[in-house]
Amino acid sequence: MNSKLEQPTLASGASLARLAEILRFAAVLGNDDRSHSRASEPEGEKTGAAPGPPGADFAETVSELFRLLQDRGIRYVLVGGVALLRYVPGRNTDDIDLLLAVDELRALPEILLAERGEWFAKGRFRELRVDLLFTANSLFRTVLERYAAAQTFLELAVPCATPEGLILLKLYALPSLYRQGDLQRANLYEADVSALLLAAHPRMEALFEELSHHVSASDLAELRKITAEAQAREKRFGQSGSGSV
């Protein structure tokens, strides 16, 4: 990526080297701020100095991770910011998010974990940050089983969450983010949902029905409001056309 003004985008058929370029660019831009953000990171992420930007062989690191996943028959789904870039442009991200069963980690000793919980883990594959979501969570398992499709890169096909799967994950996370007071991430996730609604026009009632099995009735009501506000903005701007200012 040649400029800070260039929007990250990951078109179908792109090379994994392009994915590495996006991750590396985001890491370089965010490196100066890493020391400030680390104060709010979990304890497992605070050990040692903040990592520097990826090296020159970073593209090979990214490619090797996906080759390992394929060659070892790991059942996984790509989620998070990289998956989002398959459907909408502009989302900066400097890590890979994978959804898989925790037992699959036995076949991936190269991923070194810094923190691990029942549903989530954070780790590294060489200089690549890898965030993991585990199918011990019933919604995560549902996304793996029902809301994933192969996305073709130049080198190989990568199972990727569908727009509906990403919306489910984003909405599911929002109540917890608000309760934690993490408004920055909550605003980012709401923007992601809005972008996916605009790009994919999913059947939201089916997704709300799915969410009803995983969140409380009060949380579901708030998520309906958030989604309705995003849809109202989309409709309002869509009706306004391309008028001049």
pLDDT in tens, 163-215: 999 999 999 999 999 999 999 999 999 999 999 999 999 999 999 999 999 99
**Superfamily holding 16-161:** Beta Polymerase, domain 2 (3.30.460.10)
- Give the N- to C-terminal CA distance of the chain in Å, as an integer: 31
Kindly tell me if the per-residue pLDDT of 38 is higher than 70: no
Kindly tell me if the per-residue pLDDT of 110 is higher than 80: yes
% residues pLDDT > 70 (the chain): 79
Give the pLDDT confidence score for residue 55 in this predicted structure: 59
Q: What's the Cα-to-Cα distance from 18 to each of 10, 98, 153, 220, rounded to whole Å?
A: 7, 18, 10, 37
- Residue 218: half-sphere exposure toward Cβ, Cα within 13 Å: 2
Give start-end residues of each CATH 3.30.460.10 domain in the chain. Answer: 16-161
DSSP 8-state assignment for residue 93 = -
What pLDDT band is residue 126 in, cutting at 50, 70 and 90? very high
Q: What is the pLDDT of residues 50-107, one digit of tens each?
A: 455 565 688 898 899 999 999 999 999 999 988 998 898 877 787 899 999 999 999 9
State how beta strands 120-125 and 112-116 pair.
Answer: antiparallel
Q: How far apart are CA 186 and CA 177, in angstroms?
A: 6
Q: How far apart are CA 112 and CA 160, in angstroms?
A: 23
Largest Cα separation within the chain, whole Å, is 58
